[in-house]
Structure 1
Amino acid sequence: MTRKSPAQTSADAAAITRASRIVTAQITAVAALIVALVVVVSVIYVVRQSAPRERLEKPPPGQTRIYVDAQTVLAALVIVGVGAIILASLLSWLIARRAVRPLGDALRMQRTFVADASHELRTPLTVISARVEVLKQDLDAGEDPGENLDELRADVAALGDVITDLLLASSPREDTAEPYAVADVIEPAVDDLRLLGTPRGIRLNVTIEPGISTRVPPATLRRSIVALVDNAIAHSPDGSSVEVSAVTAARGRFALAVTDHGPGLQGIDRYRVFERFAHSDAGSTREGFGLGLALVRDLADRNGGRIEVTDTSSSGTTFTLTLPTG
C-alpha cells in the first residue's frame, strides 16, 4: 500500500476540502437564486389571486368551491423554498466531493512521481559524481582517462534508461522483444556501485548462475539492483562485504538475493520495511528505509515478481527479489 508522510496527507486533504467547499458554495448560490426566483413569482401570483371574483359569487347548485388562505400558501412556499435550498446544498457537497476526487488522485500521483524520481536519480548521480572524481585523479596523475570516460558515458546512458523507465512506470508492462542474460545487467550495475562501497572498505561480491535470462525491462532490473545494493551498503559496517547472487528458482523464475552483514532489522516488522517512509523504533540502528525498498516492491509487482526479507539477524539481512525468467 502506498503511504505518504502525515504532512503531505494533511495538505492534500485540506486542498481537496477547500476545492469542495468552493464548488459547493457556487452550486448552492445558483440553486438558491433559482429557488428564490420561483418563490417570488409564486408569491406575486398568490397575492394577486388572494381575492378572486369567484369568491364574491354564489357557486352554482351542485358545485363546491374550496378556498385556501393566502398566508398559508405563502408560508408553505417559503418552507418548500428553504428546504429546496438545503437539499441543493447537500447534493452540491456530494457532487463536489466526487468531482474533485480525480484532482486529489492526480495530486497524489504527482507527489509520488516526484518522490520516486528524486530517490531513483540520487544513487546514479552519486555514482557519476564519484566517477568524475576518479577521472580527475587520473588526469592529475597523467594517466589515460579513456576507460573511465567510457564508464562515465555508460553511467549517463544508464541514468537516461532510469528516467525513461520512470516515465513508463504508469503504463501497462510490456515484455521486451527478446530475452537477455541477467548477468548483462547485474554485473555492470554492481560494478558502478563499487564506487560507493570503496571509500568505506565495503566489498561487493557477485555470484550469478549461468544461463539465466528474463524479459523484464533491463532498466527496471537495474533500478531494483541499485536500490537493493545501495540499501545494503548504507546499512553495512565499514570493512564488511555485500553478497549479490542470482540463481534459478521454481516455476519459471529466478531469485536475486542481496545480503549485508549489518545488525539486522531492529524495531520494525520485516513486512513493513517495504512501505513508503517506514521507520524503525527510536534507538534502532536502521533508522529509516525511505523509498528504495518500496520502489523495489512496486517494480516487482508491476513485473509479476515479489520482494521479501528471507533472513535477518544480528549477523545481517537478506532481501530476495524473485522475477520471471524469459
Structure 2
Amino acid sequence: MSEQPGLESALDQLAIPVLRVEEGTARVLFANTAARMLPFTLEPPAAPGAVLDAEGTPLPVEQHPVERAARGEPLEGELVRWAGPEGSRAFVVHARMDRSRSPGVATLSFQDVSGWHQTEADLRRALGARDTFLSVASHELKTPITVLQLVLERLQRGAHREVSLSGAQLVERLEPALRQVRRLGVLVQNLLDVSRARNNHFELECERFELGTLVREVCERFSEHARQAGSVLAVEDCPPVEVHWDRMRVEQALSNLITNAIKYGAGGPISVRAEPHEGAVSLRVEDRGPGVAEGDRERIFNPFERAASGHRGESLGLGLYIVREIARAHGGTVGLTGREGGGSCFTLRLPREAAEGGYE
C-alpha cells in the first residue's frame, strides 16, 4: 500500500510513464496514469521476446529494467524497447532507489523516444545509402576513364612508332573511347539533374510534338539492348496525340523506365503504351520480372535507392528519382504497381499542357 500519496499524486500528473517498485521483490507499488494507458505492461514478467535491448535482442527476465531497479542497480538513460500489439516502442529508462524506508522503493521513469529512434534509424539508412552511392559512383566513373586512358595510350604508342593508321582502323580504335565518353556524359548529366532537382531548379523547355513518334524512336533505339538481355521490347499501343512537353526530358524519363525494365525484367517481354485521358496522357512501361515488394514501391523513387533484387549489377540509384522529378516538373506523377501474372508496371502520367519553366 502506498505511503506517499502526495508524491504519487504528483507523479500521476506526468505525461511520461512512471513505476514505483519494492526493493528485492520487484512488486509494483504504483503505476501512474501514463503507464496504465500503454497498450502493454511495463511490469515483469512480460511475454517472451516482448522486451528488447537497444540492438533488438530479447532480454531475459532478470535483465528487465524493473528487476534491475529492484536489485538497486542504477539505470541512467538505458534504451529498452517493448514489442507491443501496435509495433515497437523505444524508451529511455531512468531508475533511482529510495532507502529512506525498509524495504526501499525504486522509482522508474520511461521516456518514449520512439520517434527519435526511428529518426536515427532513417539517418543511418540514409548515410548507408550515401556511402553505397559514393562507392558505386567511384566505380562507375573510374571504368570509362580507365578505358579512355587505355585507348589514348594505344594511339599514342602508335604515333611514337610512326605507324600510319587507316581511317577504318582509327574509327575502330576510337569507338570504345567515344562509347565511354557518352557513358560519362550520362553519368554527369544524372548527377547534375539530381543537384538541380534537390535545389528546386529543374527547368523545362516545352514544345509541341506528336508523342507516338517519340515513343517509337526511343523503343527502336533500345530494341537491340533489350534483345541482348533476352527481352523483346514492343510498342503495344500508342495512338496519335499532340502534347506540350519538354521533349528531351520526356525522352530521358522514358529511356530511364525502359532501361530499368531491361535491367530488372529477367529477360521477359517489355511493353510500352500510351493512354490518352481527358487532359492528360499516361505512358506505361511493363516488364515480366520478379517485381518490386509493395513496401519498396515508394522508396525506389528516392535518390540513391535501389530495391532488393537478384540483379548483380550496380547503379547509382538515380534513374527513377530523375523520372519522378521530370514528372513533378511537368505537373504530373509517376507510380509503380505490380502486374497481374508477375512483373512491374511503371506509369508516367503528365498533363497534355505542361507549364513552361518547370519548378523553382
Structure number with higher helix proportion: 1
Q: Flag the structure with more relative contact order, 1 or 2, with Cα contacts below 8 A and sequence separation at least 6.
A: 1
Q: TM-score, normalised by structure 2?
A: 0.42
Structure number with higher strand proportion: 2
Question: Which structure has the larger Rg?
Answer: 1
